[in-house]
Amino acid sequence: MLNQFKVLYGEKGFENIGSDEVYGFLENLTQGLARSTRRLRYAQLKAFFNFVINRCDLDIKNPCNTSLLSKTFRTSKQSPRKVPDKEAIDEIIYNTKNLRDRLLLELQARCGLRIGESLKIKVSDISERKIILREPKSGKEAEVAYMPEPIAKRLEEYIRCENLGPEDCLFPVSYSKARSMIKSLGAQLKISIRPHDLRRHSATYAS
């Protein structure tokens, strides 16, 4: 981005670059791109001007500090998603009759697992109350999650009843099916819920 800016305005005195030039440059540069990308490019150029003005002790205003630019390249405000309360989550879990589905819910709501992490768990990843998460979203090679004892016992019962082997996945369902199942269970109780709401619930009540 700065190389392109240099091509256009490299020969122009820094103090002579106004908000109109900045606006035209950013509009051409980010046309058709996502709003978040447009906002990022604006923030980067604004930071560049601040750096030069401060480093060179220039007595000029940052041309990016105009209402037109800030309004054009701002991100839309997102209202925070409400975390389902404990009673709602408990009701969904307790009303889930299928043991597999209940365990999938509990691993997210009680242990803070992501839905994708839960679906990757193999029987060999379970050791008493400990779960080894392979290739978690954090980028680490592995992480460890801990289960409350009642969940660990239900999981042991589930593995035995389903006659699962060490290399079998605990939950042999697709992401879309698991997501649909969770939304459907919530809808039965007139509760709007997504898989990540369970993990968010877990983090909220753990803290």
Question: Which of the 8 DSSP states describes residue 16?
Answer: G
For the chain, give every domain's residue range.
2-72, 86-206
Per-residue confidence in pLDDT tens, the chain, 207 aa:
999 999 998 888 888 899 999 999 999 999 988 888 899 999 999 999 999 999 988 889 999 999 889 888 876 666 666 777 889 999 999 999 999 999 999 999 999 999 989 999 999 999 999 999 988 877 788 899 999 999 999 999 999 999 999 999 999 999 999 999 999 998 998 888 888 899 988 988 877
Burial 41-72 (b: 16+ CB within 10 A, else e): bbeebbeebeeebeeeeeeeebbbebeebeee
pTM for the full predicted model: 0.61
Question: Which of the 8 DSSP states describes residue 122?
Answer: B
Picking from 144, 140, 171, 176, the residue whose alpha carbon sits closest to that of residue 158 is 171
As to burial, measured by CB atoms within 10 angstroms (0-12 exposed, 13-18 middle, 19+ buried), residue 22 is buried
Q: CATH number of the domain at 86-206, out of 1.10.260.40, 3.40.50.2300, 1.10.443.10, 1.20.1050.10? A: 1.10.443.10
Residue 68 has φ and ψ, to the nearest 5°, of -60, -45
- Coil/strand/helix, residue 14: helix
